Structure 1
């Protein structure tokens, strides 16, 4: 009767066959009634081959191991269950949601919707292994200007703007302790660059640095990756060390921690407090000595309000809080960064570019750069690929199409100039000078004050050096090109 239900219901089968996730139906005896095209492709069985066989016969799984058989027996749904099994000489990892179902004849069975995460898990694990191998390689880089085999340092963070310099100074001082550090900044501002630089300047610099993006990993895989797994914790699980153990003595960077499920955050808080990690499925506590650097791409108060970060975890992670300015907030660094990337890609692509024409210079200085330094870098790389080998100047036609068309993207709200900090909870790492408040908003205009201070410093240096630009640039600690640009920007002649 159950088989007739599927053989006659062609519309239902058509719907299931268009799903990207694998779908299975079994009867009360665990016999396969139906599997969709995605399941056929994943397991290497056709429906005709699988139909009429039990889950145990096809996959070697018993009632404890198989979510389908377990739900058939209990008539209770099973959510976000991790399943590992071997089929047709390949290893498969899935995340399953399985439910009981009553068929028209009154008998019970189960159906399961299963997402294949085999490749994702393999990619994550390969990435972790590559990080461990990559950052132990310290020979000379084959291409000048390219980083290979070593972590970034503070020398790799390019920029002269006071906001960035204050940020770098704070990060360098923070590197000398083992306190948890919380990096906050918009996408593309260089949070991992800061995390690597902090590790490189710390006493842990010769130990392991590992980074993981919490937004890219499903919850059921994330905890196993962080804390490790004991054999049998989920179907087919093997004993494996988590990232806390693998980075023991070194640094673990948790990127976009606001995307970590709250249930996992509570376990993370316990690890930070106790300095012990308990692998999933184990009762053994393993002592760890791992420094944690975490990051968030939205302002913490907003993340806490939206319940993206547990408030108690945030205060524990943000013993030292570093707010990284957006590129728009340090606009004077755009020209310097662009020239740095030009030099970098000259070496990489064998080009001879020496400058940007005035139209491009004015354009990049006016553009808001919502993607921050990362967007600027990729835009310069695009231009460097489009210039001819004998060209020495980047022109507007070399820029990415969306820039030439004046495309604009939305801005998020995370800026150093509009922070609403919780009183007594979090101190801004960049002290703001006393300034009059804007009558319209009542907020302190930090950037206007910084620009005015910068202009006054340039004028003072020029007066002291009797208008000599090179000497003034050296005194200010910037390049001659940067000083010339800033003089033009502030109307200094």
Structure 2
């Protein structure tokens, strides 16, 4: 079984520089790296150590191994910079997959390509071979909504997908721009051709040009014959996310390649012809970016033939319960404690919260709850503090089941934010919530039901805070 996982991982990239296997507790079971001096595979000597010990900069929350073991979902093409126990910083492009046995996740395996050591680039960033197939991409059915504007956008995507016009997607971080881009490809005549995605802000400008156009061996120190993303996306779709992060001079070069449908690899005098549809995205209004000289106007007019604006989640609040239920069902497949839903109070808090991180933040909130939930319903105790103790939401919330809004709670919170430690602020707010629930419901049993907790747990809180019942 392990050998099969190693063989699979070895085929992810053209050449692996490191392979790491951990068990369920994060203890390293197998660790090798490619030695550039004698071109051999060597054991790193980390077997038996915790991955958190080898890379002290990691935590269980940030480690890709712990994340895939927690969710059961692979992480593909993640760029990460890790500082090891010797103080050296390594930048990798990695893909991490869970290892399963008898339907149980028993560990994780990660294959990596080394990009830089202590900030010094080692090579051009590769592209994962499995992403070239175009399989497993999102489609219009993946866009979960009941919002009228979003449904109009879905219809627009269906129509636009049929043609080859350049599309620019504009929306805040976390609104699902890549989902839209993949749907455009999936419903197009190019659906059986490659879909290549690149976040322009994730790559240093000196590497992005070679990544896009490719290189010829010897064009610079360490350069190898490498196809660029334009060539890899031939006859398919190239998605350039956060386009405005691309250096202005490189924007001019990509514009020329798009207009002429020709390009030259770095170090080559020969032109190559390419047929590719460009879909781009940015998280700010293009005209503002042009005004700040972060986006070339000619590139905007060339790539913004069709513009699709994605509304933020706060402007489609009717989708919040729908998306919450959708994410709950997703995490129920991997969670040992299935969730039935959210309490009435949590639903109200979710509805009143502005979600600056949009759908991604909502998904993360449900994932957070799935790790801490004690019962079957997500309650106040299970949601991130940033959502629960937002001053605006505390002031604006109007509770269901007759529990009134309490302006003095928000006032106390705003004072506490600047003068009191978070633990005291949390305790004061929790006490106020319990007092209001007891006042409204008249009994500990009914108040516990409203708050989404057990009678015993609420009785403990009543005693803890010395609340008169």
1:26-41 equivalences in 2 (<5 Å): none
The structural deviation recorded for 1:405 is: 2.4
The structural deviation recorded for 1:130 is: 4.1
Deviations 1:364-402 (A, max 9, x none): 0000000000000000111112123xx221111110132
The structural deviation recorded for 1:194 is: 0.5
Deviations 1:289-338 (A, max 9, x none): 11110001110011111111100000100111100110011111111110
Indicate how the Cα distance of structure 1 residues 314 and 164 shifts in structure 2: closer, same or farther if over 3 A, else same.
Answer: same
Contact 1:92/1:116, CA 8 A, preserved across alignment? no
Q: Within 1, Cα distance between the matches of 2:290 and 2:241?
A: 16
> Normalising by structure 2, what TM-score?
0.57
Correspondence for 2:186: 200
The structural deviation recorded for 1:232 is: 2.2
The structural deviation recorded for 1:277 is: 1.6
Indicate how the Cα distance of structure 1 residues 284 and 327 shifts in structure 2: closer, same or farther if over 3 A, else same.
Answer: same
Indicate how the Cα distance of structure 1 residues 184 and 400 shifts in structure 2: closer, same or farther if over 3 A, else same.
Answer: same
Q: Within 2, Cα distance between the matches of 1:326 and 1:173?
A: 23
The structural deviation recorded for 1:356 is: 1.1
The root-mean-square deviation of aligned C-alpha atoms, in Å, is: 2.4
Which of 168, 171, 176 lines up with 1:190 in the alignment? Answer: 176
Give the 3-state SS of the residue equivalent to 2:201 in structure 1: helix
Correspondence for 1:78: none
Correspondence for 2:382: 398
Correspondence for 2:57: none
Would you say 1:359 and 2:345 are equivalent positions? yes
Would you say 1:375 and 2:361 are equivalent positions? yes
Give the 3-state SS of the residue equivalent to 1:159 in structure 2: coil
Give the 3-state SS of the residue equivalent to 2:128 in structure 1: helix
Correspondence for 1:210: 196
Indicate how the Cα distance of structure 1 residues 408 and 249 shifts in structure 2: closer, same or farther if over 3 A, else same.
Answer: farther
Which of 114, 121, 130 lines up with 1:117 in the alignment? Answer: 121
Deviations 1:108-162 (A, max 9, x none): xxxxxx94123xx57x42x5334226x44xxxxxxxxxxxxx0011101111111
Q: Within 2, Cα distance between the matches of 1:248 and 1:364?
A: 43
Deviations 1:447-467 (A, max 9, x none): xxxxxxxxxxxxxxxxxxxxx
Correspondence for 2:261: 275
Correspondence for 1:142: none
Correspondence for 1:244: 230
Indicate how the Cα distance of structure 1 residues 319 and 219 shifts in structure 2: closer, same or farther if over 3 A, else same.
Answer: same
Give the 3-state SS of the residue equivalent to 1:360 in structure 2: helix
Contact 1:128/1:210, CA 8 A, preserved across alignment? no
Would you say 1:340 and 2:340 are equivalent positions? no
Q: Between Structure 1 and Structure 2, how many residues are aligned? A: 284
Q: Within 1, Cα distance between the matches of 2:308 and 2:199?
A: 19
Unaligned runs of 5+ in 1: 1-41, 45-90, 96-113, 137-149, 410-493
Unaligned runs of 5+ in 2: 1-34, 38-112, 394-469
Would you say 1:228 and 2:214 are equivalent positions? yes
The structural deviation recorded for 1:350 is: 4.1
Q: Within 1, Cα distance between the matches of 2:216 and 2:283?
A: 33
Give the 3-state SS of the residue equivalent to 1:344 in structure 2: helix
Q: Within 2, Cα distance between the matches of 1:228 and 1:287?
A: 13
Q: Within 2, Cα distance between the matches of 1:158 and 1:165?
A: 9
Correspondence for 2:398: none
Contact 2:349/2:388, CA 8 A, preserved across alignment? no
Which of 256, 268, 285 lines up with 1:299 in the alignment? Answer: 285
Q: Within 2, Cα distance between the matches of 1:43 and 1:273?
A: 40
The structural deviation recorded for 1:278 is: 1.1
| Larger deviation, residues 278-287 vs 261-270 | 278-287
The structural deviation recorded for 1:247 is: 1.0
Which structure dedicates a bigger proportion of its chain to strand?
Answer: 2
* Higher Rg of the two aligned structures: 1
Contact 1:214/1:255, CA 8 A, preserved across alignment? yes
Deviations 1:187-234 (A, max 9, x none): 000000101111111111111111111001111111111011122221
